[in-house]
Structure 1
Amino acid sequence: MEVRRVVIDFYQRFKVAFSDEMSFIFKRFTYHWLLWILPLIIYGLISSIFSTGVLYDLPVGYVDQDKSALSQEMIRDLNAGAHADLVNYEDSLYDGEKALAKAKIYGLLYIPPHFEADVLSGKQPVPILYYNALYYSAGLYSVMDYSGLITDFNSRYRSIMAAKIGLSVPTLANATFNYDGLFNASGNSMYFQQFSAVVHLLQLFVVTMTIHILGKLPRRTRPTYPFVLGKLAPYTLWYTMLLIFEIALLVFFSQARVSGNPFAMLLVVFFYVIAAQSIGILLFSFTRSTIDAYSYIGLLVGLALTYSGVVVPELSMPPIARVISSIEPLTYALNTLFDLFLRHAGVVSLVKTCLILMIYPVIITLLVRKRLVRRLNREEVIQ
């Protein structure tokens, strides 16, 4: 009976706060700014940056010191690819390296002397393709066709060399890959960079709005946890639908293909927003003022961008960076959402992600259960 009374009391306090917040959610210009104006403006800017999708016809220099039929075939095939537009630097490797350093070209192919002769004699010469890593996207896309080209050459000349020496080509082993935590598996900046940027930036607005709401709670109301949750609940629903709307626009305009269940995305986004709100509560509770809480948002966003797998693959991170990555809710939400975009993510994976995201509000509730009320009371005194 006591438990039932507590639940009813919790629900009534939550309902009163929720109804009160819904009555004036769009009556202040600041709320309009944080809820839809600024998020959609930034979404438009991101869309314009990545509107061309994959980078094509990037200038790539080459220095061919062999000038054989095989080297010329390699140059023609690389130039025929979608990403590279080759520029001849004759025999001057120095001029090619200088142009690469000044970003006049984004890659430089060097074919050594006697390349064809060495290939046919089985000496395995190594043509080298450099790219400017300071221009990460452009440099990486400029050399994207090269690995496939070399694989094709190896498979063809492997058979030729085996036939000349009278040996049969051994059968290649069949390998099965198990992978998790996708890092741009689509190979398309439209599918990965814009998608991850939109999901990442939502966290910024959710945390900012959470701190703003907590800092503006009315003085006349006794601050309790169900009251706080009721005040935040409308924004949980709003930001969930906002991100789903932005993802839908991305799918529509880029003609992206969603392999998984779109309704599963709604579930992941809902728990992701709750996790982001709990981080906002944590920042507010453990800072002296609202301004101090706002000042830590930049640090939060920077850590999320750096260690969530957006900039650097998780497998390429040192151990300490992987620990930080495992703390970020963006890591789990982004991986699962991108999984749903590219392949049929299973129910187990979906439930696992939602449970992990629910750990954040549970742990933070235990941390701030008493401190939050004291912090809200102090905020009233400061006001």
Structure 2
Amino acid sequence: MENRQLVLDFWHRFKDAFNDEIPVIFKRFTFHWLMWILPLIIFVLISSIFHKGVLFDLPVGYVDQDKSTLSREIVRDLNAGAHANLINYDNQLKMAEHDLEKAKIYAILYIPPNFEADVLAGRQPTPMLYYNALYYSAGLYSIMDYSGLIASLNTQYRTTMATSIGLPVPKLAQVNFNYDGLFNASGNSMYFQQFSAVVHLLQLFVVTTTIYILSQLPKRTRPNYPFVLGKLAPYTIWYTMLLMFEIAMLVLFSDARVSGSPFAMMIVVFFYVIAAQSIGILLYTFTKTTLDAYTYIGVLVGLALTYSGVVVPELSMPWIARFISSLEPLTYALNKLFDLFLRHSSYLSVLKTCSILMIYPIIITVLVRKRLVKRLHSQ
């Protein structure tokens, strides 16, 4: 009976705080800025950056030390592709490397001396095309046409070499490769970055709003933990709907095909917002002033962006970076949301992700439950 009374008491305090917060959500212009004006402005800015989809005619330097028919064919065919615009550096490889470091070009094609002669002699020389990985999308797109070009030349000269030697060319295995693009076939990488940026930046606004609400509570009433949760609950629902709206806009304008359930996506977003709010509570509780809490948001955002797989692929990180990545709620939310785009992900896997995201508020509740109330009273 005592436990039941505690639950009822918690619920009544939560409900009273929730009902009390609803009428004041849009009474202050600060809430308008944090809840829809700034998020939508940034959403439009990000969309405008990526609206062209694929990067075309990226400057790529080349150093041709062979100057043969074959080397000129490679340069001509690569330049004819959509993504690379080749710039001749003659034999000035050092200058090309310097321009690559300064982002005046995004990649360098190097063709060694005696390239054609070595190819015809069967010595398998290697032309090199490398790019600056710091420019993740631009560098990657600048070399996109290269692999297909080399594969085509290998097929052509394989027949030539076999004929000159007098040996028949063995037949290759017949393989049928079916590719069904998740998004418009020309812009998958760009869509991923745009989607990731939108999901990532929502965390910034959720944490900022949470800290702002907590900083205003002592001015209104004497707080307790159910009261705090009730005050935050309307914003949980709001930011869930806001992110789902932005995702819907991305899907609509990018012609994306969603394989999973939109309802499952909404569940993941809901728990992601709760996890982000709990981080805001943690920052507010363990800082002396509200300004200090706002200051640490930059550290949070930087860590999330660096170690969640948005900038650097998670599999390429060292073990310590992967460990940091495993501490970020953005990592789990982003992976599961893209999983729902890619395939019909089961509700069991969605439940697993939501359970992981719920670990954050549970642990943070244990850490701050008493300290938060003292922090609010002392302000």
Q: TM-score, normalised by structure 2?
A: 0.89
Given that residues 159 and 169 in structure 1 are in contact (C-alpha distance below 8 angstroms), is that contact kept between their aligned partners in structure 2? no
Given that residues 53 and 186 in structure 2 are in contact (C-alpha distance below 8 angstroms), is that contact kept between their aligned partners in structure 1? no
Task: Tell me the CA shift for residue 232 of structure 1.
Answer: 0.3
Mapped to 1, the partners of 2:237 and 2:199 lie a distance apart of 16
Task: Tell me the CA shift for residue 292 of structure 1.
Answer: 1.5
Mapped to 2, the partners of 1:288 and 1:258 lie a distance apart of 45
Trace 1:1-383 onto structure 2 (pairs within 5 A): 1-93=1-93, 96-97=96-97, 99-158=99-158, 161=161, 164=165, 166=167, 169=170, 188-219=188-219, 221-379=221-379
Given that residues 51 and 190 in structure 1 are in contact (C-alpha distance below 8 angstroms), is that contact kept between their aligned partners in structure 2? no
Mapped to 2, the partners of 1:259 and 1:34 lie a distance apart of 32
CA deviation profile, 1:188-243 (whole Å, cap 9, x unmatched): 34311111111111001100111111111145633222111110000000000001
Given that residues 50 and 189 in structure 1 are in contact (C-alpha distance below 8 angstroms), is that contact kept between their aligned partners in structure 2? no
Q: Secondary structure at the match of 1:336?
A: helix
Task: Tell me the CA shift for residue 99 of structure 1.
Answer: 4.6
Q: In the superposition, relative to structure 1, how do residues 155 and 268 fare at CA in structure 2: closer, same or farther (>3 Å)? A: farther
Mapped to 1, the partners of 2:13 and 2:186 lie a distance apart of 47
Residue type of the alignment partner of 2:212:
H
Q: Secondary structure at the match of 2:217?
A: coil
Given that residues 325 and 331 in structure 2 are in contact (C-alpha distance below 8 angstroms), is that contact kept between their aligned partners in structure 1? yes
Percent identity over the alignment is 74
Given that residues 218 and 376 in structure 2 are in contact (C-alpha distance below 8 angstroms), is that contact kept between their aligned partners in structure 1? no
Q: TM-score, normalised by structure 1?
A: 0.88
Q: In the superposition, relative to structure 1, how do residues 340 and 153 fare at CA in structure 2: closer, same or farther (>3 Å)? A: farther
Q: In the superposition, relative to structure 1, how do residues 328 and 72 fare at CA in structure 2: closer, same or farther (>3 Å)? A: same
Mapped to 2, the partners of 1:46 and 1:58 lie a distance apart of 20
Mapped to 1, the partners of 2:306 and 2:48 lie a distance apart of 23
Mapped to 2, the partners of 1:147 and 1:64 lie a distance apart of 18
Q: Secondary structure at the match of 2:126?
A: coil
Mapped to 2, the partners of 1:293 and 1:147 lie a distance apart of 49
CA deviation profile, 1:77-98 (whole Å, cap 9, x unmatched): 3223221122334455455445
Quick check: 13-22 or 369-378, which moved more? 369-378
Mapped to 2, the partners of 1:293 and 1:139 lie a distance apart of 37
Task: Tell me the CA shift for residue 7 of structure 1.
Answer: 1.7
Which residue of 2 is the match for residue 180 of structure 1?
Answer: none
Mapped to 2, the partners of 1:365 and 1:156 lie a distance apart of 66
CA deviation profile, 1:113-154 (whole Å, cap 9, x unmatched): 222221232211010113344544322321122233333434
Given that residues 191 and 256 in structure 1 are in contact (C-alpha distance below 8 angstroms), is that contact kept between their aligned partners in structure 2? no
Quick check: 55-64 or 298-307, which moved more? 55-64
Given that residues 186 and 342 in structure 1 are in contact (C-alpha distance below 8 angstroms), is that contact kept between their aligned partners in structure 2? no
Give unmatched runs, 5+ long, in structure 1.
Answer: 175-184
Give unmatched runs, 5+ long, in structure 2.
Answer: 176-184
Mapped to 2, the partners of 1:165 and 1:281 lie a distance apart of 76
Task: Tell me the CA shift for residue 22 of structure 1.
Answer: 0.2
CA deviation profile, 1:350-382 (whole Å, cap 9, x unmatched): 222111101111111111121111111112xxx
Given that residues 218 and 377 in structure 2 are in contact (C-alpha distance below 8 angstroms), is that contact kept between their aligned partners in structure 1? no
CA deviation profile, 1:22-59 (whole Å, cap 9, x unmatched): 01110011111111111111111111221212211112
Q: Secondary structure at the match of 1:296?
A: helix
CA RMSD, 1 decimal: 2.5
Given that residues 59 and 85 in structure 2 are in contact (C-alpha distance below 8 angstroms), is that contact kept between their aligned partners in structure 1? yes
Aligned residue pair count? 369
